[in-house]
Structure formats: structure tokens, C-alpha cells
Amino acid sequence: MTPEDLKKMLPRPPAPDLQAEAATDHMEKLLAEIDGLVADMAARQKRRTAIPDGWEMVPLERRPAKEKITLRLDRDVLDYFRETGQGWQTRLNAVLRLFMHHRTGTEDE
């Protein structure tokens, strides 16, 4: 009896289920992608709710002589300021005022 004859007598290992392996690989990739999306959503939520550095330094006093206007803002900018709660318009005005003073080199009275 030759070694080849002995090999023929040994039970063959089951054939790999390639379809099941492919499905498992695909499922693992999908789960990894979902984990990434969940982590990204959590990071966005944290950024959305986090108070930016220096935010407490933005003066919130109300000044007389406000003028009612129509202003078009990007939706994400508007949503961000609205999510900061009551006084969001005053905060938006204060941020614009700080930007104006920075650009003009003037100081707030």
C-alpha cells in the first residue's frame, strides 16, 4: 500500500462553506461600519452640545436700538445657535459684535 492509498482512506475534511464565510466576512464589515457610524454620531453630538472655549466670555447684555431685519443663515448655523437655548439671538449678536471689533480693531464701549 502506498502513501497515496493511505491518504485516500483517510476521511476528508468537510469542504469549506465559502458562501457562509463570505456572508460572515460581509457581516463583520457591516458591523464595523455601523460601529464607525455610531462613534461618528456620538462625536458629532458631543461637539454639538459642548460649549466652545471662551463662550462664557461673550457678553450677553442687551443694548438698546436693535433693528429688526431679515437675515439668511445656513441651516446648521441657525440650528447650532437655537440649540443653545433662550437668548440665542443675543448670543448670535454678541458673536457678530466680537467679530466686528476684531476685524475693525475697535473696542466695545
Structural domain boundaries of the chain?
18-48, 68-109
State the helix-helix crossing angle for 75-83 and 88-104, rounded to 10 degrees: 120
The mean of the pLDDT values for the chain is: 78
Cα(109)–Cα(95) distance, integer angstroms? 15
Terminal CA-CA length for the chain:
105
d(CA 53, CA 44): 17
Q: What is the mean pLDDT of residues 18-32?
A: 78
Q: C-alpha distances in angstroms, 88 versus 32, 60, 79, 80, 99? A: 38, 10, 10, 9, 16
Rounded distance, CA 3 to CA 47, Å?
A: 68
Per residue in 42-57, pLDDT (tens digit) is 777 776 666 666 666 6
Query: What does the pLDDT read at residue 84?
Result: 84
